[in-house]
Every structure is written in structure tokens, then in C-alpha cells.
Structure 1
Amino acid sequence: MAQWTQMEKQIPLLDNQTVNFLYPPNCFPMEVRCYLASWIETQRWEDFDMGNVGQEPQALDLLDKIISFLQSHAQTNQNVVEKMRLQHISRVMNAFQTQPMELMVTIRDSLRKERYILSQVPAQELSPAPVPSTGDVDHLVCKVLEIQNCRQQIHQLQEELNWQKQNYENTQGSLQQNQTNGLDPQHSEVIKVQKNIQQLEYNGQAMSKKLVQLLQEAVCSLEQCQARLINRIKAWRWEQHRATIGHPFDDNLSPLQTWCEQLLGVNGKLRQEVMLVGEPIPELQEALARLLQSLIQSSLVVEKQPPQVIKTQSKFSTTVRYLLGEKVAQGKPVLLKAQIVTENQARSLGPLGGMSSENVGEVINNTAILEHNTSSKSTCASFRNMSIKKIKRADRKGSESVTEEKFALLFSTEISITGCDTPYKIQVISVPVVVIVHGSQDNNAMATIIWDCAFSEPDRIPFVVPERVPWKKMCVTLNRKFMSEVQTERCLDTYNQHFLAQKIFDNPDIPGDYSNMPVSWVQFNKEVLPGRPFTFWQWFDGVMELSKKHLKSYWTDGLIFGFIGKQHLHLILKDKPTGTFLLRFSDSEIGGITIAYVAAAENGGQKIQNIQPFTKRDLEIRCLGDRIQDIDLITHVYPDSPKNKVFIKYYTVNQGPPGGGYIPVSIQTKVETPSASPTVPSTLPPSESMDPGNGAMGMSPIYPQNSWTFSDHKPQHLFPDPVSTMEQAQDMDLDEILGEIYQN
């Protein structure tokens, strides 16, 4: 009822003609709007379309409710005059039983007019809760209604003019008869009729000029409104593209669909009004035809994009939606076809195609029918089991890799729209994809996609991206991607960002303000990091993968310091008591997290020790919380929180003894002291041992130790040959290891 509350303040400021224009007395009296205000504003009047006869049952149902409400108000009203008025209005409403759709559309248009009037009122004149307005579209609808009203007035003037001309002929005939009979001539009556005719002709000409002017203004407004719509569709696609790197994205297409449908309706009404003018107006007809074609072609969108890294011979899905689906002409089904195109082919695409006919890949299950879903009111073509059977690569330049080559899926069809004479060819292209043939290429392919999503411009030539970007843009991308991938609200802080800059620029003395330092694609994922066998992206992606699967809660709770260089590490830990530790991501190993702690030195002082990193496999065997609990050398997490207080919720509660008479076994993490022998105890499972030669310099290796007790007392047979080497154990999980133990 908020809209009516606002309108009640504006109605006294309007003239009677405008009020009657808003609420036609013979169709939708203002009393109906007033008495049923709350109910009216909760109904879906925008869904009604005069041309849709299938909506008549729904319209009749709403009409019956209106009549019922009015009669109920009449019965309970104590004012006799108002009671009679309401009864009269209910009889007026009852007359629409034969044409309920006309009433529904009238109510819809009245509400649109209200919104337009309210949109013109300064904000300070409205209440604190302003009524939402659809703005441009409502303005257009009001213009169309004004054009229709002007045309009707011209028609009434023409009828009046025809009657006056007939009256003039009759009056002139009587004058001639009187002159013949010698009676007094009735010159004054003839002159009066002549003046009426002249005035009517003048008014008709003025109204005709006004009508043409209104049409021109309406077409201009439609062009501007449609340009905003198409820009919004492009923005939706851009936001969808950027969502890959964690940018917020609202995938709801319903508002854009409503906008498209409304503009199509306005275009149809304006084309009809231009035809009814009587004289051809070529410039308006051409403009409306051009706008119609542009709207029909721009309404095809990829609602669900294909995966941006596609492995050949693997299934994937995608969904294409048509925003004018309810306006598609009935009859022949609409078949969409998908094909894969290269970057060069994508660049050569025109509005209607026009690219090279060369086939660069074979796509399986590449057709789908455009189907309408009545519950969601969406019209989509779902490609559920697509697959790229083979792909033809372009000639690569220099050191270009196959994982840097970008393709896209092109969807095309021919469609007929109700009310349009000819079918239209329409097409839409997907976001860029990288096609791989083996899982080992996935990481590098994703790097190409990340760079494209993060640093391409909205209206670029497909699929151009800069070779270098400022570090501040790269840093934002890494932060968003990390938060999105790990599904956390905790971002990378300034310490983390500074270390990442040191890492990618290979500069431990990087200056304070490095936001504008350029980062190249080569630095991101072409060249390996100094002294490492992997690139920056491969290392960063490994951290995200480990965090997503094993460290999300720890990171979100602020228990992991994260990215930190050794200089900074020594700086913040040097004055801390022995046993203080922090968790940091390994900079020497992909997907590793290590514990840096303050240890007692041989000379009675202190030193910083780094435990060999825990990897995904380590944390699958024993979680990080339990490993921290196991290590007695660490007592307080930086800066000074007792570990058993902050990590207790991550400790595994000891389970009861196993059934079947088995003696329980356990796995425990042990850390060798610097003076101890680095050899692995013979009772350790190889999967839990670490080769000290694989650790980073200055880091003490981890030596997990398990306590095992068996009834047959044959420890020399705990690890038979099948699992006696580290290489074999790395391919087995804990269940497999325990299975081998129990069997022996």
C-alpha cells in the first residue's frame, strides 16, 4: 500500500483530466484503487498481456475477487451514499466478465502511470519510505499511453469534423431552399458551422503534429532505454566472467528478462501507432525495426558458462537462456547449436556471424532445444552431456604453451518472435576456455583463465589481455581468489601481501610502496621462481588447495599467520619466550604449511626453528590440530596464546577401544631435537617418515612416531615388503597402511 500512500499526497496537485487519465471512471474508478489499495499492490499485474488469451482464467479470478471485495465494503459501510456508490462500481466491474483482460491491462497501466508520476516528485516531498520505480520503462509506457490518447482525440476530432461537415451541407441546403422561397437567409448559422469546421481542422492538424512529435520522442526514449538495457546485459556478462576470481555476482536474470519483455512490448505498440498515423514515417519505421533486431539478438545469454578449463573426452554442461522466451512464436521448436571457435574466429564474429567456416574442434552433443519452464518463467537450452572429442591447435609463437591458447563456445540459432514478420538469426559466445588433454595441464590452464578474468577489459577485442599489470591489481586478484577458493571472510593482510610481492619480484628488500610495480604474465606463470622447480602461480595455487581442503577453519579463526618471509619471521619471534610458534605457508614446497617456533639454543640463548612442512597427504593422515597437540616443543601460538586453549576445538577426542578384540593403535607426531640422530626409528610407518634431505635449509625434519602394541610381539614383521619403501607408501592412504599391518 506504500505506492497508494504516496499517490494520495499527489492527487490533489493533479488536474481532473490527469486524474481521469490515471483512473478511467468507466473502467478503473479511483474508489477501487483506494478501497483495495493494499490488495492491488500485492498482485502480479505486470504479467498480463492483452494478446495472451491463456491468461483469461486468471483475469476472471482476479475480477471476481475485486467484485467480492467491493460488495463486502458496501455491506459494511454505514454511509448510505458511499454504499450506493460502491454497489454501482461493483456493477461496472461486473460488466468486464466478457473482457477481463482489458481490465487487468488497465489496472497494470494505471499503476505504471502512478510510478512514473512519483518518479518525477522530488525526494524531499515523499515520505521516508519512497516507492520503488522502474523508471525508464514506466516513462516509456506513459508516453505510449499519451500517444494512444492523442490518437483517440484525433479520431474523435475527425468524427466531430465529419459531423460538422455533414451539418454544414445540411445548413447550406436549407439556406439555398430559403433563398429560393424568398425567406430570410440564415447566414449566421452557416458562418457558425464554418467556424466550427475551421477550428476542428486546425485542432486536428495541431494534434497530428503533436502525435508525430510524441512518436519521435518515444522512439528516442526507447533507443536510450534499450541502450541502457543492453549495457546492463553486457555488465551482467562481465560480472559473471569476473566471478571466476571471486568478485561478487548476482546471477538473477529475471529483472533483465522483465526489462526485455517490456521494451519488446513498447516497440510493438510504437510500430502499431506509427502505422496508424496514416502517412508513412520511414525514419521512425527504420529506427523501430533496427531497435527490434538489436533487442532480439541481445536477449540470448549464457546463463551457466561451460567450465573454463575443459579436458577433451570429458563431459561438461552449459545453459543458454533466451530473455524473450515467452515471446517466441509457437510451432517449430527452436534448436540451438554449439561449436568451438578460436580466438581469431571470435574476433571476426559479426552480429550475424560471418566468421571463417573452418572447423577447429569436434563437439559431441552440441545441440539443444529451447524449452520454456512455466514455474521459473525462463526459456533455456540445456547442454547436459557435451564433450570435445578433438581440437585443432593454432600455430604457436616462441615459447607459447597449449595451455595459453584460448577458445570459446559459440551458440547460434534462428528464432521467430510473435508479432514479427521474419525470423532472426541470433548468437552468443561463451567466456574464454582452455582445452587440455591431460590433468597435469590443469594448473597452467587455470593460470591463463585467472589472468584473463582478472585483467581483461569489458569491451575488449576477443580475447586480448595486457602482458603486464600493476601489483595492486594482482594483489586484489590474489586476495579475492584466495577468499573465494577457501570460502572464508578473512583476507590476506598487509604482511601476507608484502611477502607475496617479495616472492613474485624476487626481492627481499622491496620498498614500502610497490603498488604500481608492474607484474608480467611471465613472472606469474611462465618462469619458475629462483631456486624452485615451480612458478609463482603453481605455488600460490598449491597453498589455496591445501587451505581449502584442510585449513579453512584454522585460517578463518586467525590461527594461521600465512605468507611471511624468514626475515620478518625472525623479527617478530626473536624476543618471544621459548615455545612460541606460528603457522606459515611453506615458500619452498607446493602446498605445505610449516611451524616456526622459538627453540632453546646450545649456548643457552634462543633460535628460530622451522619444522618440515605438512602437506595435503600428511594432514589427511593426521589433522593439523592433533599434530600441534603432539609437539611438546611448542606451547604458545604467536603472540602469546596458550596452544591448548586456542586449538582445543581442533583436537580429536579419543575414541573407545575398537571392537572385535583388537588392541588399539595410534599415530603420533614427533619432532627430532637438533642433537638427535636424523635416522627414522625402525618402528615408524614409512608413510609418516620424512626424508631430511627433502627439507628446506635451516629446517628441522619432522619425525612422527607411533606407539604400536601387538599380541604376537613380532615388531620385525610390522612392515612387510609391499609397503617397505617411502615411494610405495606415498601412493597409499592410512586405511591401506593399517590394512597391511592388520594382515601381518
Structure 2
Amino acid sequence: MAMWIQAQQLQGEALHQMQALYGQHFPIEVRHYLAQWIESQLWDSVELDNPAEETKAKRLLDNLVAELQRKAQLQGGEDGFLLKIKLGHYASQLKSTYDRCPLELVRCIKHILHSEQRLVQEATNASCGSGGQAMDTLSQRHQQINQAFEELRLATQETENELRKLQHSQEYFIIQYQENLRIQAQLSSLSSLPPAERTQRETTLQSKRATVEAWLTREASTLQKYRLNLSEQHQKTLSLLRKQQTLILDEELIQWKRRQQLAGNGGPHEGGLDVLQSWCEKLADLIWQNRQQIRRCEHLTQQLPLPGPMEELLSKLNADITDIISALVTSTFIIEKQPPQVLKTQTKFAATVRLLVGGKLNVHMNPPQVKAVIVSEQQAKALLKNESTHSESSGEILNNNCVMEYHQATGTLSAHFRNMSLKRIKRSDRRGAESVTEEKFTVLFESQFSVGGNELVFHVKTLSLPVVVIVHGSQDNNATATVLWDNAFAEPGRVPFIVPDKVLWPQLCEALDMKYKAEMHSGRGLSEDNLVFLAQKAFTSSSNNPEDYRNMTISWAQFNRESLPGRNFTFWQWFDGVVELMKKHLKPHWNDGAILGFVNKQQAQDMLLSKPNGTFLLRFSDSEIGGITIAWVAENPNKPGERLVWNLLPYTTKDFSIRSLADRISDLNHLLFLYPDRPKDEVFAKYYTPPLSKAVDGYVKPQIKQVVPEFTTPNPEPSSGAPTFMDQTASPSVSHPNNFGVYPSMSDSMLDPDGDFDLEDTMDVARHVEELLRRPIANQWSSQQS
């Protein structure tokens, strides 16, 4: 309800814009009386483009109607009688309007709430500015645009007033001109009168004619001046319109598209499209008004031709205004929801295109159809250079035609492609070391429609962000690298799809940090130390000084074409493996600050040797994609008094699908403190799996547990609640040994001096589990229980 309280305090134009959000589609009284209920609902959780969400939307509609009816019943007394009837009427009206299309109700309310929030925010920023505090850049820019619109509105109103004056003056001129013709006719008819009478009448008529002709001469000059002045005013207005349109289309819209592109790398979700649409609609309205005025000027000029340059001036004005509206319409045909940039064949995908001026120009009166085709990089270049008049395709997209729909509640005209699928793709010849995952395509959306009763016909096209087509999930990693590099470093207005081959290291750091934070869904991204670690890996360097990397460049080949020294994977493949592991299994621990991650083996050793025994940390594996290991400090079992840092064989996604990281850490009793000095239970206990339930139908469930035999300590008593292989509430006839001898003992040779396991002599946890479950002892336990 807080938002509605603030919205009611809006003033001036902001209040007018807020009131304009409401109407028969959603009465403002419903917003007022159900303010608290409306603001407490999870409208944003409904995906408008997903038909499966219709059930959720229907439930929201039914609840809204029920809440209105309940509110109506609560109204009592004489004053409440009319309100009771009105609220009941609104309940029936909303039910009738949206019962068959409940998603439209959600779309309407989301639009209203987001618009209110924007208006309140803008008003808040403006009030801060008037109080002497500097407004942020965004608010200043919006204020400048709104001021320019007010100037244009006044200029258009002024030319409209001048045009009406011109029209009235010209109409009076024509009347007087007709009067002059009538006098001429009367003079011609005097020959039939007697001489005396003829002379008297002739003198009077000639005097009258002289007066009228003198007036017509003066008035003709005045009319010509009016026309020239009006033409100059129109030229000034068109100049302002062009300037405002350039600001909105070439700056604001381009910036929105750039934010949309960066959103593909995990940047903030692009917002502000509704604001852009409102600006574009204002432009369309003003341009159309001026165009109509120029057309009326042309009509007046044809109605009363006068000597002078008016015909040429009006012809130029008409051409200029047509160019302006053409640029507006073709530039505002945009992709609201991009298709996936890594596009797998035979897989369903979606996209949404929108015409920002569709509602204002009444395009929806004859809804246009939009077609989608996939084109190659070369075909995209030809299209932008106008070298290709027809749309060649590099593949076949199923369900690639869609009719644009007008949503009255939001005033948007859009086409929702919900079930497209790329059936096949035709690849071009690749150059040099380029792989299929470096080849870029784009989805071309095109349509044709008319405005002004077929007066102007537009053929519009727009290209999606570059897409990389794959046929197997194993290609996703490298395809994502191509997309990330393109999204991060593409320049506005580039030739498709040119990107720099080298970029500064800090630029890449920004892109990696953006990606990482997005996948972790938190503000904790990559620290400066993390980025130094990545620089060391990328450049095979040992420097710990961030400044040493500030001016270094990294090439695409170093990023994801050439393998790291001594490895069979690239820098990006290693980093993406880390991201995938964290996203799927370790996100909460990263957000808790429990994982250092970007630490090499030597750094881990230096850090841990200064800490008490049992201190451990988690770091990403250098040698394995998507691996994380535990490093800890402990006494050397073979040399009392000597302390060593040990490293467990790295865990991967496969391991964590068997047993979680928190449970694995809980299993290892020799791990006591998370670096630097946090008790492990304080950090991880909230993620431990609860103890198993009691036996069911006489059977005891086995439980997986991890051990490192060299560091195994006697098992805690059952009363401690610590998990063991057997359920703590099992039958008393089942005994639990003090140590877990079911695992084979591990010789000293199985650990290297740094504490790493030898892959050839050990088994990972999954194989330990298989070994355990195959042992006869398990059957003996079962028989004992039975």
C-alpha cells in the first residue's frame, strides 16, 4: 500500500500520467480500495509468455474478484450503499473482461505497478534536486527530454493556431474575391441601362471595385507572408522533432539495446522500455500532427495559388516529415525478448518483437504479421547494406510466423513467438582455426504494415543479437564463450558481427565478474585477489600486483582457443567449469563467504601453515575443469612434530550429486576450522542433512559417509546425533564398530607430499560407495536385522 500512498501525492504531469494508467480495463477505484492486497501479490512471478502460467493468473483473477466482493459487502450505511453497488459492478466487469484471458489482467496490473513505481521514483529524484541536491544523470536526462516535449507541444499548438488563422483569412479572401467578381459582372451588365443611370451606377461600382481590389492586393501579400512564416515555424518544429527523435532513438534506445545485450552476460535486466514507448508515442503523435498541418497547408495553397516559393517549401517539408516518421517507425520495431544466443537445433525457443508506436499509429486496426528467419553473418551484412532485397535464409525455423497482438491495458503491440524450433542450419565455410561454435548467425524479424489509411506503407526489419547454433550440449561451453565475448565487446553500429580480437584485461575482468555475479544471484562477485589469480592463470604469471595486469591485453585465442600450458583445456573452459559447479551445487556456500576458491596450491599452503591443525579451506582445482578441493593443515602421521598441508582429490558435480559438500565436511572429523578461524559447524551446520528416520518394514537404510583413512578418528557415540552408516534408531541387535573398517586401509604411498591423491591408486567417493554396497558384510547386517 506504500506505493499507492506515494502515487496519490504525485502532482502535475506525473499525476496526469498516473491517472491515465486507469480506465475501464482496470478502474482506479479498484486500485484504491484494494491497494494493500494488490501490492502484496506476486504479479512478477507470472511468466506472461508461458501459456502454462494461465492457471496461476486465473487464480489471481478469482482472488481479486472475491476480494472486491468482500470489500463491497463490508460497505454499510447510506454513504456506503453506492460504493457497495459500484464495487460489485467492478467485480463483475473484471470477471467478464479477463475470465478468458487472465494473463492479460496480470499484464495490465504489472504495467500499472511498474509505471507507478517509475513515476514515484522520478518525482522523488526531482524533489531531491529542487532541495539543492544534484539529481542523478538519468533523472536529468529524462527531465531534459520531457522539457523538450513540452516545447514541441507548445510549438505544434502555435502552428495549429497560426494555421487556423491562415485558413480563416484565406476563406475571407476568397469571399472578397468572389465579391470582386460579382462587381465585375454588375459592371458588365450596365450596358443595358439608360446612360444617366448607367453612369451613376458605374461610378459607384468602380469605386467599390477599386476598394476591394486594393484590399485583395494587400491581403494577398499578407496571406503570402502568413504562409512563409508558417512554413518557417514548421521548419523549426521539424528541426526540434528531429533533434528529439535523434536523442531518443540514437541514444536512449541504443543504450536500452546495449543494456539488453549486457543482460545476456548477466548484467542488470534491461528496464525502461515502457518509458521509451511513451516517448516514442509522444513523438509519433507530434510528428503526425505536424504532418497533418503541412498537408492542410498544401491543400490551402492548391485552393488559392499565389505567386512565390510555397509549393517548393511545402514539398520539402512534406518530404522531411515523411523521413522523420519513417525513421521513427522502422527504428521502433524492436526485439523485446531476444531468442537464446546459444541456440540448439530441434529445441523449442521463444522471442517477442514489439512496435513501440503501434498503438499510437493505429497499426493494430489491421494487425500485421511478423516472419522470423535465421541468416548468416554475411547475409546480415548484405541486409544492412541494402545489397539484398529479399531475405535469404541459412536454415529452417518451424512456427516462424506470428500476428502482432494489441494489448489495450498496456497499449503495446507485439508478437509473441512461443514455439519456434530450428529444424536445420546451413553453415558457411570456416576460416582457419574457427570452429562451429565461433560461427555467428542472427534471427531476422520482418513485417509490413501501413499507417494513415494505406497512406504510408512500411517494410520493417530487425536483427536479433548474434546466436551460435549447436547440435549437442557438449558444444554449449565454447558457444557461450563466443556469445560472452560478443556481448561484452561489440561496438554500437558495428558491421555484423565484428568484435575486437584483443581487449584490455580489465575489460574482460568486468565481463567475467558480471557473469559470475549473475550466476551466483548475489552481490558477491570476483574480488581483486580473485582477478589477480585469474590473470596469473591467463598470462602464466606469478605477479600478485594488480597494477601489473592493468594495461595487458588478452586475445580471443588466449581466452578460448589455445589450451593453458600443460592442460588440455582453455582459460574460459576452466572458468566456466567453476561457474557451473558453483551454480549447481555450491552457490549458498559462496554467498556465505565459505569458499575462497581462487587460490593456488602454494598460496593455500602458505595460508594454512600459519594456522592451528585442523584449519581448512576450499579452493578450485587447477588441473580439472569444474573441480574443488579441500586443503587442510595437520601433523604428518609418519613424522611426529612435522606439519603438512594436505589436499583432497578434487570433487566435481558428479560427487556432489551423491553427497553434498556440507555433509562431506561434516564426515571428516579432522576438519575443525574454516580458514581463518571459524568453527566448521558454525558455517556448515545449517546445510547438514538431518539424521535418517527409523527403520521401515524391518529394514535399515544404509547411509553414505566419506572417510579419509589416514585421518579417521573413532566414531562419536550415537547420542551425539552424528550420522553413521546405520540409522541411529536402528535395532539394538545391530552393533556399530568404533571405526569404519569397511573401507580398505590406505597406504602412505597413496598421498603425495603435498597431500594430493594418486588417481591410479585410489577411488573416488562414487566408486567407494559401489565397493561398499557389493561387500558381503552388508548382507550379513541385513540378515542380522531381519
- Please give the alpha-carbon distance, in whole angstroms, between the structure 1 residues aligned to 2:471 and 2:406: 36
Aligned in 2, Cα 1:448/1:166: closer, same or farther, shift over 3 Å? closer
Distance 1:705 1:528 in 2: 29
SS of the equivalent of 2:657 reads: helix
Aligned position for 1:699:
756
Structure 1 residue 620: Cα displacement: 1.9
Contact conserved, 1:328 with 1:415, CA < 8 A, in 2? no
Q: CA deviation at 1:192?
A: 11
Please, which of 573, 585, 590 is the counterpart of residue 538 of structure 1?
573
Indicate how the Cα distance of structure 1 residues 501 and 672 shifts in structure 2: closer, same or farther if over 3 A, else same. Answer: farther
Quote how far apart the aligned CAs of 1:350 are: 3.3
Residue 154 (structure 2) aligns with:
142
**Does residue 1:230 correspond to 2:249, yes or no?**
yes
Pairs within 5 Å for 1:272-671: 272-277=292-297, 278=301, 279-280=310-311, 281-326=314-359, 327-329=361-363, 333-350=367-384, 354=388, 358-509=392-543, 511-513=545-547, 514-601=549-636, 602-671=639-708
Provide Cα deviations, 1:192-240, integer angstroms capped at 9, x if missing partner.
Answer: 9999888866665544333111100011111111112222223222221
Contact 2:645 2:755 in 1 (8 A): no
Q: State the identity as a percent.
A: 38
How many angstroms apart in 2 are the aligned matches of 1:603 and 1:670? Answer: 22
Instruction: Say whether 1:673 aligns with 2:710.
Output: yes
C-alpha distance in 1, partners of 2:234/2:315? 12
Contact 1:586 1:594 (8 Å CA) reproduced: yes
- In the alignment, residue 150 of structure 2 is paired with which amino acid? D
After superposition, the Cα gap between the structure-2 partners of 1:356 and 1:337, relative to the gap in structure 1 and judged at 3 Å, is closer
Shift of 1:447: 1.1
Which secondary structure does the structure 2 equivalent of 1:589 belong to? coil
Sort the Cα spacing of 1:191 and 1:42 in 2 relative to 1 into closer, same or farther, 3 A.
farther
3-state DSSP of counterpart to 2:691: coil
- For 1:407, the aligned partner's letter is F
Q: CA RMSD in A?
A: 4.7
The Cα offsets for residues 260-284 of structure 1, whole Å up to 9 and x where unpaired, read as: 2222222222122112222431211
| 1:369 positional shift | 1.5
> Which of residues 739, 742, 746 is equivalent to 1:683?
742
How far apart in 2 are the matches of 1:321 and 1:381? 6
Q: Compute the displacement of 1:419 (Å).
A: 4.5
Counterpart secondary structure, 1:381: strand
Matches for 1:10-21 after TM superposition, within 5 Å = none
- SS of the residue 1:604 aligns to: strand
User: How many angstroms does 1:661 deviate by?
Assistant: 2.4
* Cα distance, 1:207–1:355 mapped onto 2, change above 3 Å: closer
**C-alpha separation between the residues in 1 aligned to 2:650 and 2:387?**
54
Shift of 1:533: 2.1
- Whether the 8 Å CA contact 1:672–1:702 is kept in 2: the answer is no
Per-residue CA deviations over 1:385-428 (Å, capped at 9, x if unaligned) read 22222222211122211111111111112211235514221111
SS in 1 for 2:707: coil
Q: Which of the numbers 208, 214, 233 marks the counterpart of 1:214?
A: 233
Q: Helix, strand or coil: the match of 1:135? A: helix
Give the TM-score of the pair, scaled to structure 1.
0.72
CA contact (8 A) 1:670 1:704 kept: no
SS in 2 for 1:490: coil
Give matches, 1:52-67, under 5 Å.
none
Distance 2:257 2:751 in 1: 47
1:389–1:625 CA distance, 2 compared to 1 (3 A) = same
Distance 1:597 1:438, change over 3 A: same
**CA 1:635 to 1:409, structure 2 compared with 1: closer, same or farther past 3 Å?**
same
CA displacement 1:456-490 (0-9 Å, x = unmatched): 11221100111111110111111110111121210
Aligned to 2:20: 44
Q: Are the counterparts in 2 of residues 482 and 544 from structure 1 also a CA contact under 8 Å?
A: yes
Following the alignment from structure 1 to structure 2, what is the Cα–Cα distance between the partners of residues 481 and 39? 39
CA–CA separation in structure 1 for the residues paired with 2:474 and 2:10 = 64
- Retained in 2: the 8 A contact 1:583–1:595? yes
Q: Deviations over 1:364-401 (max 9, x none)?
A: 22211122222332222222222222222211122211
Map 1:172-251 → 2, pairs under 5 A: 204-231=223-250, 232-251=252-271
Are the aligned partners of 1:302 and 1:320 in contact in 2 as well (CA < 8 Å)? yes
Within the candidate set 273, 283, 301, 1:263 is matched to 283
- 265-274 vs 498-507, greater mean Cα deviation: 265-274
Structure 1 residues 576 and 695: CA distance shift in structure 2, 3 A = closer
Q: 1:169 to 1:523 in 2, by over 3 A?
A: closer
Q: Distance in 2 between matches of 1:124 and 1:714?
A: 77
Given that 1:147 and 1:211 are in contact with CA atoms closer than 8 Å, whether structure 2 keeps it comes out as: yes
- TM (normalized to structure 2)? 0.68
Q: Structure 1 residue 655: deviation in Å? A: 3.9
Distance (whole Å) between structure 2 residues aligned to residue 228 and residue 696 of structure 1: 65
SS class of match (2:347): coil
> How far does residue 252 in structure 1 lie from its aligned partner after superposition?
4.5
